[in-house]
Amino acid sequence: MKPLKRFYNLLELDKKDVYQLFFYGILSGVISLSLPLGIQAITNFIQSGRASASWIVLIIMVVFGVALVGVLSLMQLRIMESLQQKIFIRSSFEFAVRLPKIKFEEYYNNYPPELANRFFDTLTIQKGTAKLLIGFSAAILQIIFGIILLSLYHNYFIIFGMLLMLLLYFIFRFSYNSGLNTSMKESKYKYKVAGWLQEIARNNFSFRNQMHHDFALGKNDSLVTEYLHNREKHFSVIKTQFTQLILFKIIITASLLSIGGYLVLSQEMNIGQFVAAEIIILLVINSVEKIVLGLETFYDVLTSVEKIGLITDMNLEEEFPVDYDNCYTSIALDIEKVSFKFPDSKSIVLNNISLKIEQGERIFINGENGSGKTTLMRILSGLMQPTEGAIYINDDSFKKVNLNQYRSQIESIIYGETPFEGTVIENITFKDELTNNENLKWAIEGMQLEHFVKSLPQGLLTSIFPEGKQLSSSNAQKILLARSIISKPKILFYEDPTDTMDEKIANEIIDFITGQEHNWTIIVSSKNEYWKTKCNRQLTMKNGQIILDQKNQ
């Protein structure tokens, strides 16, 4: 979809507000251009040396017109403020809804936090749309009404209108694509700079070393250089457009003053008409200048819409309704001839795997790095979809797997997962109304978090920084584990869930999770060998295949 079409679709959602803005703009434009007629009449009265009630009435009407234009502008500002708020709200929820639901494969070769940074383009759209809808619409209407009004004074002014329209056409015709392309490239490097600064902040400890710090500055310098290069190219387009406008203003101003003077001298216009015509001409030329100067805003808005469009174009997972009254009482998984490869990759990560898993099994997945164990777990947990093959639940091969229903019955901890910004209790329960205090206490005690929680200044209401920065890695993992068991799911998928803990604590937590009193299925991959001793089944993987499926005695 082209950027201009995206912008149109954005405005289509609030077309009533846009129509109101245009309506008030038309009224304002008509009143503004009626003012020169009033000034013309007042000038004629003054020229004739007569002072009458009509002169006073005309002055009052002109002043009233100025006040009315101001009121209409205020009404436009109110509508535009509401429109900006709607754009912000819609964009924030669009991101909040989409980011967790985008297909995992779509994130391939994309860095999710960098994609989330594109939300800041919403601010550009907010401010830019206000200028375009109010400033641009007012300028365009003023040009149209001005040309119509000037043509009533003399046919010569029709030529002025034709030249003006040709100017605007040529400016857009020959510079629109180049202006948009350079704006897109400039924006690309703007995000690269922001992304690199984010990396420096995220890895600030690594860059404290002077040599590493010099590398960070050097890379920032190269990115900023590219940004400035593309910014200059974009400015060149804007400069060319403005240069054309200056030349046009010089030619038109000289021509119209000469023509106006000639028409007055030849008595085809009087002084009042000449003054009014020159006021209208100045208004029209200023309107053209506003449009040309506003083209940079126009490019910025289209670029921002296109950048956000990258998020909205990403494919989402298929939505299924969740029926909590008919949840699975048990889950048996059957995967049949499943293969997987990442987009744009020729190598197969999983190759023709078939596997059956019964409710209550404890399965440990062995394998060297790159053997496919992580990919297999993420496919089993519904995070990724297989390239080939199928997954069945409870031998139901006739219905498509309802991912939302399935996920409501499982929990997982993937490698690198951390607590989010929020309170401890929010990180464990997600404010789930179905979670009671008894289950919360059970999960906290089972994961040996009670002493940690008691040591916090506000207990469970203590806030956690993003990525759990103020927590020890051990406590961060305990919070994730408490989160995973509190709803007592049917299946637990774990990737290195206890690998940062002391061995004694880790083994005690493993004993709790694998206890026979829990009927959940456990599928785990970990460097901690103790997990292997507590599981009743081991899968060994190599080169994307299961080479050994062994039951423990």
For 269-295, how does the pLDDT look when each residue is reduced to its tens digit (9 = 90+)? 777 677 777 777 777 777 777 777 777
CATH number at residue 474: 3.40.50.300
Measured distance CA(135)–CA(176) in Å, rounded: 19
pLDDT tens digits, one per residue of 400-440: 677 888 888 899 998 888 999 999 999 999 988 888 899 99
Least confident of 23-32, 45-54, 211-220, 303-312: 45-54
* pLDDT (mean) for 139-150: 75
CATH number at residue 308: 1.20.1560.10
* pLDDT (mean) for 140-154: 74
Whose tokens are 């400890």? That residue is 205
* pLDDT (mean) for 502-517: 93
* pLDDT (mean) for 141-154: 74
Task: Kindly state whether residues 304 and 450 are assigned to the same domain.
Answer: no
Task: Kindly state whether residues 290 and 339 are assigned to the same domain.
Answer: no
Task: Kindly state whether residues 350 and 272 are assigned to the same domain.
Answer: no
The amino acid at 90 = R
Task: Kindly state whether residues 34 and 107 are assigned to the same domain.
Answer: yes
pLDDT recorded at residue 32: 67
Asked if pLDDT for residue 51 goes beyond 60, the answer is no
Confirm whether 318 is domain-assigned: no
More confident residue, 385 or 276: 385
Task: Kindly state whether residues 236 and 89 are assigned to the same domain.
Answer: yes
Task: Please answer whether residues 94 and 122 qualify as being in contact, where contact means their C-beta atoms are separated by less than 8 angstroms.
Answer: no
- Given 247, 281, 313, the domain boundary residue is 313
Confirm whether 488 is domain-assigned: yes
Task: Kindly state whether residues 360 and 220 are assigned to the same domain.
Answer: no
Asked if pLDDT for residue 471 goes beyond 80, the answer is yes
* pLDDT (mean) for 140-159: 74
Task: Please answer whether residues 142 and 279 qualify as being in contact, where contact means their C-beta atoms are separated by less than 8 angstroms.
Answer: no
Q: Band the pLDDT of 224: cuts 50, 70, 90.
A: very high
| 3-state SS class at 109 | coil
- Given 254, 278, 313, the domain boundary residue is 313
Percentage of the chain surpassing pLDDT 70? 91
Alpha helices in 131-209 (DSSP H): 137-153, 156-202
Confirm whether 115 is domain-assigned: yes
Measured distance CA(94)–CA(512) in Å, rounded: 40
More confident residue, 185 or 320: 185
Number of structural domains the chain divides into: 2
State the Cα torsion 441-444-447-450 to the nearest 10°: -110
Confirm whether 45 is domain-assigned: yes
pLDDT recorded at residue 398: 47
Of 170-174, 317-321, 368-372, which has the strongest mean pLDDT?
A: 368-372
Written as six digits, the tokens of 36 are 């020169």
Confirm whether 170 is domain-assigned: yes
pLDDT tens digits, one per residue of 297-353: 888 888 988 888 888 888 888 777 766 656 678 888 988 999 998 877 788 889 999
Burial call 5-33: b when 16+ CB within 10 Å, e when fewer? ebbeebeeebeebbebbbebbbebbebbb
Asked if pLDDT for residue 75 goes beyond 80, the answer is yes
Whose tokens are 């203003």? That residue is 249
Distances in Å between the Cα of 431 and the Cα atoms of 362, 487, 491 are 29, 12, 21
Task: Kindly state whether residues 373 and 305 are assigned to the same domain.
Answer: no
pLDDT recorded at residue 511: 95
Task: Please answer whether residues 362 and 536 qualify as being in contact, where contact means their C-beta atoms are separated by less than 8 angstroms.
Answer: yes
Measured distance CA(143)–CA(527) in Å, rounded: 73
Percentage of the chain surpassing pLDDT 90? 28
Task: Kindly state whether residues 290 and 341 are assigned to the same domain.
Answer: no
Question: Which stretch of DSSP H or E encloses residue 547?
Answer: strand 545-551
Measured distance CA(444)–CA(427) in Å, rounded: 12
E runs forming strands in 306-442: 333-340, 350-357, 362-367, 388-393, 410-413, 422-423
- Given 313, 344, 364, the domain boundary residue is 313
Asked if pLDDT for residue 531 goes beyond 90, the answer is yes
Task: Please answer whether residues 340 and 384 qualify as being in contact, where contact means their C-beta atoms are separated by less than 8 angstroms.
Answer: yes
DSSP one-letter string for 450-501: HHHHHHSTTGGG-EE-GGGTTS-HHHHHHHHHHHHHTT--SEEEEESSSTTS
Task: Kindly state whether residues 292 and 403 are assigned to the same domain.
Answer: no
Q: With the C-alpha atoms ordered 453, 484, 478, 418, is the resulting torsion angle positive or negative?
A: negative
Least confident of 42-51, 86-95, 485-494: 42-51
Task: Kindly state whether residues 329 and 205 are assigned to the same domain.
Answer: no
* pLDDT (mean) for 62-75: 77
More confident residue, 30 or 544: 544
Q: Which domain holds residue 490?
A: 324-551
Task: Kindly state whether residues 176 and 206 are assigned to the same domain.
Answer: yes
Whose tokens are 């002072």? That residue is 51
Helices 473-485, 437-446: crossing angle, 10 deg rounding: 140
Confirm whether 79 is domain-assigned: yes
Burial class for 326, CB neighbours closer than 10 Å (0-12, 13-18, 19+): exposed
Confirm whether 41 is domain-assigned: yes
The amino acid at 234 = H
pLDDT tens digits, one per residue of 103-141: 887 887 778 888 888 888 898 898 888 888 887 777 777
Backbone φ/ψ region at 341: left (φ over 0), alpha (ψ -120 to 50), beta: beta
Average pLDDT value over all residues in the chain: 84
Confirm whether 319 is domain-assigned: no
Distances in Å between the Cα of 519 and the Cα atoms of 340, 381, 394, 516 are 30, 18, 16, 7
The amino acid at 299 = Y
Task: Kindly state whether residues 234 and 365 are assigned to the same domain.
Answer: no
Largest CA distance in the chain: 117
* Distance, first Cα to last Cα, the chain: 60
Which residues, other chains included, contact 457 with Cβ-Cβ below 8 Å and sequence gap of 6+?
none
The conformation of residue 522, written as its DSSP 8-state character, comes to E
Q: Checking DSSP bridges between strand 422-423 and strand 333-340, what pairing results, if any?
A: unpaired
Which residues, other chains included, contact 416 with Cβ-Cβ below 8 Å and sequence gap of 6+?
none
